[in-house]
Amino acid sequence: MKIIAYSAVPESANAPKALQVSNDTELATLVASGALDGVQRVELHFPKFTDGRAYSQALLLRRRYRFAGDIRATGDVLIDQLVHMHRSGFTSAMLAEGVDAAAAERQFARFAAFYQGDVHEPRPLFAREAARDAAREAALEAA
C-alpha cells in the first residue's frame, strides 16, 4: 500500500485519470454508466475516519467490479485504519494533516494472518488451512 503524507508534493500534469467517488454513491449505477471506463484511480473519501462506507465500496470495486487501477483513500485517513483499508482493496492512502507516515508503515507488520478472507486472500483462515493440510497430505502420498 502506498502511503502518502499530507505534505507530499501534488502530482504533476501527467497524473493518472482519477475519479472521485463520494461514499454514498451507488456503485452498481456508477459502473453501469461507464464512468469507470479508462479511469486509472478511484478516490474514495472518508469524511470522518469513523464513517466506514468506503470500505464496502473498495471491496466491491475490487472483488465484484474487477477494478484493477489504484483505489485511494482520501479525507480523514489515520494510521490505525490502514490495515483495514489495505485488506478492503485500497492501494494508496493520502494521510490526513499531521499524521506521521513513518508510524503508518509499522502497522502492517503486526498480524501475520486474519480469520476472514479479504481482497488479497478471499479464502477465510479455515479454507486456507484446509488447503494447506490437503497439499501436505498430497505431498506425503507422492513421496
Residue 108, interface with other proteins (CB under 8 A)?
A: no
Q: Give the CA-trace dihedral at 35, 13, 69, 99, to 10 degrees.
A: -110
Q: Is 102 in the site for other proteins (CB under 8 A)?
A: no
What burial letters (b/e) apply to 60-77, b meaning 16+ CB within 10 Å? bbbeeeebebbbbbbbbb
Question: Distance between the two ends of the chain, CA-based, in angstroms?
Answer: 40
Q: Given candidates 5, 51, 69, 75, which one binds other proteins under the rule CB under 8 A?
A: 51
Minimum separation from the CB atom of position 80 to other proteins (A): 6
Q: Which lies closer to other proteins via its Cβ, residue 8 or residue 134?
A: 134
Which of 7-15, 29-37, 67-75, 124-132 is the region at the interface with other proteins (rule: CB under 8 A)?
Answer: 124-132
Q: Is the CB of residue 10 less than 8 Å from the CB of residue 100?
A: no
Residue 123 and residue 118: Cα distance in Å, rounded? 7
Q: Report if residue 72 touches other proteins, rule: CB under 8 A.
A: no
Q: What is the longest distance spanned by two Cα atoms in the chain?
A: 59
Binding status of residue 131 toward other proteins by CB under 8 A: no
Residue among 53, 69, 70, 75 that touches other proteins (CB under 8 A): 53
Region from 13-21, 35-43, 50-58, 67-75 binding other proteins, contact rule CB under 8 A: 50-58
The three grid cell numbers given for residue 119, joined into one nine-digit string: 481482497
- Residues forming contacts to other proteins in the complex (CB under 8 A) are 49-53, 55-56, 59, 63-64, 78, 80-81, 83-88, 100, 103, 110-111, 113-118, 122-127, 130
